Amino acid sequence: MKNKKSRLQQIVELINNNCIGSQEELSKMLSTKGFMVTQATLSRDLKMLRITKVATDTGGYMYIIPDSNNIQDKLLQSGQMIQKNHSASFVSINFSHNIAVIKTRNGYASGLAYDIDMSKTPEILGTIAGADTVFAILREDVTHEQALQVFAKFLPITIEPI
């Protein structure tokens, strides 16, 4: 019998690395890792970890972990980037004066906004996220080209030389 801390860590790892849509699916994945849990225990674990479900663009659901990963936060704040797969969720970016409008697939905007905010880049004052759109407010003196260089850390943007 493996301990609760190990089980919780495994749940976080599985949800971070897989698109899991049900407790049954998560339970089966846990069992392959040696964790046999009841539905009630799994439900309590998900509640304790504050894991939630979001709608996917295919009409299903998937579990997500709230943006509170302390290691990731520290790396983002220090300017080091964790290679996240925002490329699969990114749709487009456009500008209106000092506002960048970033379109994503449904459900991905808040994670992207969080990563941008936690990076604490001086060019970006802050973000506002909806389900599929991030508004990033640029500092007044930041050009769109400079902003694109910042966003290229998070998004699959190709910066062309001027």
Instruction: Quick: pLDDT tens for 71-124.
Output: 455 444 544 444 454 667 889 999 999 999 999 988 888 889 988 988 889 999
Q: What are phi and psi of 30, to 5 degrees?
A: -65, -40
C-alpha 128/C-alpha 137 separation (Å) is 8
- Average pLDDT of the residues in 126-144: 96
Which residue reads 């001086």 in tokens?
A: 122
**Which pTM value belongs to this model?**
0.52
Q: What are the pLDDT digits (tens) for 36-80?
A: 999 999 999 998 888 888 776 677 788 887 654 554 554 445 444
In 10 A of CB 111, how many CB atoms?
A: 20
Whether residue 149 contacts residue 121, with contact meaning beta carbons closer than 8 Å, is answered with: no
